[in-house]
């Protein structure tokens, strides 16, 4: 308003509306930025940046010429340093912005794939078999696919159960699922270095969180120690959920409604495959024969 008065004219309604919109946009950008870095390693780094900025302003007002010269000289290099330090957060923000601007293109085939993931996670939970399954969405995971053993096989419950069998050569590492196919197994994923994560989380859980920090993928993790099922999205992890809760989470994340169903137990699966063994005393009686 001072600028308008200095120019000798009274601000109009359009000028006020423009100023309000300008302030709201700036506030929205600051809010989105703070929401983006909340709970990440960028938070303490940002505090350090504020301390340096405060030192720069104090040097100007206190006329500390040497410190002022040093800060002024280092400022252009500091901008490039910030870009390098916050490269991961900037990449994540741009990827999320791109997903918001483009229409959702989640295919039905990708949504179909999680039924077998839920069934397999249920089996691994019952048997306390460690597993890490990653479902690709909009952002491609080709870099991580190439780090593993290429399969390009149609996804199925039996295939996942075979891959993560403890004696199988591909059980270490992650399985990456593209649409309705298992792209690769035994893949190496980036580990999360988020300092606020629980120290109880092992390498498998940190890898599942790490891949969701770098992309929009969904990671389903089964603990080898406890059999607990966890799901990670956007760098956040939800631990110790039931198979039915996993089904609901994936239904929401993949934009597909599926009616609730009773998940089979390990014994049910053995019966279907003809692997059920009768216990002593279960032999048919003479009358039943």
DSSP letter assigned to residue 132 = E
Query: pTM to 2 decimals?
Result: 0.59
* Residue 74 φ then ψ, to 5°: -85, -15
Among 33, 104, 87, 45, smallest CA distance to 213 is for 87
User: Could you tell me how far CA 97 lies from the centroid of its own chain?
Assistant: 16
Among 283, 213, 220, 285, smallest CA distance to 246 is for 220
- Which strands, in side-by-side order, build the sheet including 149-154? 149-154, 181-187, 174-178, 131-135, 218-222, 229-233, 236-241
| CA dihedral sign of residues 249, 252, 254, 259 | positive
pLDDT in tens, the chain (289 residues): 555 555 556 566 777 888 889 899 999 888 877 776 666 666 777 777 788 888 888 888 887 888 778 878 887 887 788 778 777 667 766 766 666 665 444 444 444 557 899 999 999 999 999 999 999 988 889 889 999 999 999 999 999 999 999 989 998 899 999 888 999 999 999 998 887 887 788 899 999 999 998 888 999 999 999 999 999 998 899 999 999 999 999 888 887 544 444 455 444 444 344 433 333 344 433 333 3
């Amino acid at each position: 308003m001072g600028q308008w008065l200095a120019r000798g004219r009274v601000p109009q309604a359009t000028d006020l509306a423009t100023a309000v919109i300008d302030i709201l946009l700036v506030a929205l950008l600051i809010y989105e930025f703070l929401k983006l870095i909340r709970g990440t390693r960028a938070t303490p780094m940002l505090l350090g940046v504020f301390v340096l900025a405060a030192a720069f302003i104090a040097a100007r007002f206190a006329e500390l010429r040497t410190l002022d010269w040093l800060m002024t000289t280092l400022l252009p290099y500091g901008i490039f340093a910030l870009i390098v330090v916050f490269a991961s957060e900037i990449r994540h923000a741009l990827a999320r912005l791109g997903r918001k601007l483009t229409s959702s293109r989640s295919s039905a085939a990708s949504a179909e794939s999680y039924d077998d993931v839920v069934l397999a996670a249920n089996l691994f939970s019952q048997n306390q078999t460690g597993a890490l399954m990653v479902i690709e969405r909009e952002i491609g995971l080709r870099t991580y696919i190439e780090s593993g053993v290429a399969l390009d096989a149609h996804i199925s419950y039996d295939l996942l159960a075979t891959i993560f069998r403890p004696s199988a050569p591909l059980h270490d590492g992650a399985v990456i699922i593209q649409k309705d196919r298992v792209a690769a197994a035994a893949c190496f994923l980036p580990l999360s270095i988020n300092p606020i994560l629980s120290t109880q989380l092992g390498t498998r859980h940190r890898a599942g969180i790490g891949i969701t920090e770098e992309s929009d993928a969904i990671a389903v993790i089964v603990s080898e120690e406890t059999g607990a099922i966890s799901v990670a999205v956007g760098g956040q992890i939800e631990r110790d959920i039931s198979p039915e809760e996993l089904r609901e989470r994936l239904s929401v994340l993949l934009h597909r409604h599926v009616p609730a169903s009773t998940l089979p137990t390990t014994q049910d699966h053995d019966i279907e495959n003809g692997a059920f063994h009768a216990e002593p005393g279960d032999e048919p009686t003479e009358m039943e024969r």
